[in-house]
Amino acid sequence: MPGYFSKMINGVASLLTVSLAMFSFLSLSAEAGALVPAGTDGQAPVLMPVPSSIQLSQDKFRLDEKFYAGGQDQPGGRGFKAVARFMSRLGGRTGLFLEQDFLADQTPGPNTRLFYKYERVGRLLPNEDESYVLEIKTERIELRAPTDLGILRGLETLLQLLSSDDSGYYFPCGRIEDRPRFTWRGLLIDSCRHFMPLEVIKRNLLAMAAVKLNVLHWHLSEDQGFRVESRTFPRLHQMGSDGMYYTQEQVREIIGFAADLGIRVMPEFDIPGHSTSWFVGYPEYASAPGPYRIERGFGVFHPVFNPANPATYKFFDRFFREMASLFPDPYLHIGGDEVEAVHWKENPQIQAFMKKHNLADNHALQAYFNLQILKILTKYKKKMVGWDEIYQPGLPKDIVIQSWRGTQALVDGARKGYQGILSNGYYIDLCEPAERHYLNDPIPPDSPLSADEKKLILGGEATMWAELVSPETVDSRIWPRAAAIAERLWSPQEIRDVEDMYRRLRVISVQLEEHGVQHLRNQDMMLRRLVGTVQVSSPEMGALRALARICEPVKGYARHSQGRKYTSLAPLTRFVDSCFPESLEARDFRKRVEEYLSSRQSIKARALENDYFLPMTTIVAQTSGLSERIPALKEIKPLTEKLRELVFIGSDALFYLKSGKQPGAQWLEKQKKLLEELKKPQAECQLAIIPAVEKLLTALEEGKK
């Protein structure tokens, strides 16, 4: 009868029962993310991105400590460094004491078993050749590429192929031919709204290289901060950064570090809007007199450069001359988005300027401004990149339009002959599931573009805007979902199996920790800080961890409307910040429910009860106590109550389904209304398992028809 499970929940008092249930739940979570060796019998290799062509056999190249790597490269070369990193990582993964002094010598010899060869040093430019051919035989591995960039990409694939069995480690034999689908595969990191120290940038560059991303789009100026040392205009970083900025030596360090990984570094200086921090030190170039202070809030603000002031362009001429010499990439991003025109409208000088130059509206005024900036960038041999708003007729065709509006904007631009990159659908700060990003394509299968027009779509970029991330949480908002985007931008278009993507993503996520990214480990650290003196191994700590694993932050920009006013000074250390953007545990639960509903086997019903519903009761019991005692966790008390109600609904629905009995219409309607209430966020989180329980109710409702 309905409610039987609630009686069982209320009867769960034994610590042994609680501990066993929690162990069962956490074991399932660990199993879902367990490392599966590439090439395991019955499974496809765990490669991400998937190469263009893969042919593997049952033969194996056996690995031992006499594994030597050699090529024609010289010490200090990019290929040489890449092989040295590869050998170090190989030793780290296997525990093998590799005999070769690969830091000093990679000259091919009689013991060499990994041979690499390339024809020339690759240029860090769009459309450079990154292809490679990897051949693995039982006694020899050959990696060949037109450029050293291809060597870098092939080494990542080879390392992902590392497998093991009872006899030790091996690489599956076969041949891989690979090349990227898109030439521009980027990640935007916003260092302005929250400053990202050098080590954050470095570890994410290493992770980018592991999944073959090749552009770091570095967002360096915003209302909340100006983040690069300017020796020409020192008040920019002195007064506009709170002392948190990159020195020019540090910028060069990052550029060199990225270049060794085959990654371009493109700076963005957002103008004419999103520019408050510029005016703290140089208010004379603003459209209103000021004074100005660094913006602490988030949104679109009024401060904007004055396009009618000739001194503005003299300022930018000197500024971009300095930045052009600092950043070697041929592209420079000017932002250009979300220009608030209030100060333009209120300034008589600007209004007179518009009338004199027949500028009909603010869009025309921004177009005038952009053209002047374009002339300056061209003078210093830089190509302009900007968001959708920079487009205007008459711009040269070598600019790049980055679209936050969507694929139709790219289509419109390509039909006019303009190059574009897609970011709409790749906003990873919105905490959307990997599946949504994965199926989002810069050139969808039904694209109306001609073959020549498609060539103008250079690729895409994941965007990590930093309103709600700190250096300790940013990695968890980037990884592992950015790896799914990396595959979309590298692999053939027909690679679209979502389930297989998730299978591989779990493994790659663990492997990424090798580069120092903290997307997995920081969750426990943050939860430990919240609970304070609670023992790490206690059932309460295990329950809190399990609760975090089935919760997700609210999606989109909803956190800004949940009652708290976020600023750049607000703490990002709460329970919601410890939750991953996507709960893979909740996804596993949903898949279990779907399997049960498709088979209606009693054994699968018992698995749902024992592996999921019972552990969730212990989560409620343990976290309720924590939320009552620990001030920082009081806000999750209603969340635990929602989980209790959700378990009641789900377990009772499962009882009806497996017994074959039908609930009354009144009961079903009541549960549906309650479920809608449970969907409302609490502590800026949502229970990610709600869709799975909703499927059980839907199955009951359909059974009544």
| Residue 269: its H or E element | strand 264-271
Burial status of residue 245 (CB atoms within 10 A of its CB: 0-12, 13-18, 19 or more): buried
From the candidates 128, 135, 338, 472, give the one annotated as an active-site residue. Answer: 338
The CB density around residue 111, as the number of other CB atoms within 10 Å, is 11
Contacts of 140 (CB under 8 A, 6+ apart): 61, 113, 115
Q: Distances from the Cα of 109 to the Cαs of 71, 81, 123, 426, in angstroms?
A: 10, 19, 29, 46
Residue type for position 83: V
- Please give the Cα distance from 215 to 127 (Å, whole number): 12
Q: Give residues with Cβ within 8 angstroms of 508, minimum separation 6.
A: 46, 48, 160, 210, 211, 480, 483
> Measured between alpha carbons, how far is residue 492 from residues 218, 372, 410, 509 in Å?
27, 40, 20, 21
Is 630 within 8 Å of 532 (Cβ atoms)? yes
Classified as helix, coil or strand, 226 is strand
Q: CB within 8 A of 76, min separation 6: which ones?
A: none
Report how far apart, in Å, the C-alpha atoms of 282 and of each of 222, 277, 293 are. Answer: 14, 9, 11
How many helices (H) does the chain have, and how many strands (E)?
Answer: 27, 18
Distance CA 697, CA 655 (A): 11
At residue 464, what are phi and psi to the nearest 5 degrees? Answer: -110, 80
Q: For residue 274, what are the CA distances in angstroms to 265, 331, 539, 551?
A: 21, 20, 47, 33
| 338: annotated active-site residue | yes
Residues 32, 117: Cα–Cα separation, whole Å? 38
Q: How many residues does the chain have?
A: 705
* Inter-helix orientation angle 15-32/584-599, to 10°: 90
User: Of the candidates 24, 132, 3, which has an alpha carbon nearest to the alpha carbon of residue 606?
Assistant: 24
| Helix 198-210 × helix 481-490 angle, to 10° | 50
Partners of 421 in beta bridges: 402, 459
Residue 264 phi/psi, 5-degree rounding, is -80, 150
Task: List residues with catalytic annotation.
Answer: 338
